[in-house]
Amino acid sequence: MTISIGRRSLLIALPGNILLWLIAAFHMLLAATLIAVLFSVSPVAAASDDACTGHNILTDLKQSDPARYAEVVKEADAVPNGKGIFWRIEKAGIAPSWLLGSMHVTDPRVLNLPPRAQTAHDAADTIIIESDEILDEKKAAAALLIRPELTMFTDGTTIEKLLSRDDYTRLEAGLKLRGIPLAAVSRMRPWMISSVVALPGCEMARKAKGVQFLDQKIAADAAAAGKQVKGLETLAEQLQAMAELPTEFHLKSLIETLALGSKMNDVVETMTDLYLSGDIGMTIPMLKTVSPDGEDEDSDYAAFEQRIILDRNKVMAERAAPILAKGNVFMAVGALHLPGDGGVIELLRNQGFTVTAVN
φ/ψ of 88, rounded to 5, equals -100, 135
Give the Cα separation of 22 and 182 in Å (integer). 22
β-pairing, 97-102 with 86-90? antiparallel
Range of the domain at 167: 2-357
Q: DSSP for 210-248, please give it.
A: TPPPHHHHHHHHHHHTT-EEEESS-HHHHHHHHHTS-HH
Cβ atoms of 243 and 192 within 8 Å: the answer is no
What are 303's strand-pairing partners?
none
How many domains is the chain built from? 1
What are the residue ranges in the chain where pLDDT is below 50?
A: 1-16, 18, 21, 26, 29, 40-49, 292-296
Residue-level pLDDT at 260: 75
pLDDT of residue 36: 54
- pTM for the predicted model, two decimal places: 0.85
